[in-house]
Amino acid sequence: MRNEFAVLPKWVINLFLWIGLAASIAVRSLMLLNRANPEAAVWVWRFAMFSYCIFFGYRLIVGRRRHHVVTRHDLIQRIGEAEQLDPKTREATVYILRSIVCSKELFNYAFICALSVIALVLDFFAN
């Protein structure tokens, strides 16, 4: 069974960071590139959408794992009742855990990933 608390190696985390940054730079360069070289702009756009699929898919997986760990182990209640923690530490930790559970980041990641896939599929069938 896979360890639910395992953190990916630092190089993998950095790889996904660079994929996300490259996609972000690609998207932001499209307007200028489209004026200079429209054919290249199409390939940069495809690269950006594919990279977004990878990056936001990864963020979705990480976010889901965090959400499941917090809910599966009932961490909000357990930390809230922990006597050995000082009140500020307990309050801060509960805040962080609640923000993980209540955040709409999972929807955001799934939405961006899905739209990127749809855009790539439409582009594929349009040509």
Residue ranges of domains in the chain: 10-126
Determine the residue type at 110: A
pTM for the whole thing? Answer: 0.86
How many angstroms separate the CA atoms of 40 and 36, rounded? Answer: 9
Res. 13 pLDDT band, cuts 50 70 90: very high
Following DSSP, what letter does each residue of 60-114 receive, concatenated?
Answer: HHHHHHHHHHHHHTTHHHHHHT-TTS-HHHHHHHHHHHHHHHH--HHHHHHHHHH
Determine the residue type at 42: V
Res. 3 pLDDT band, cuts 50 70 90: confident
Over residues 53-108, the pLDDT tens digits come to 999 999 999 999 999 999 999 999 999 998 899 999 999 999 999 999 999 999 99
The H or E element that residue 2 is part of is none
Token duo for residue 125:
């069938």
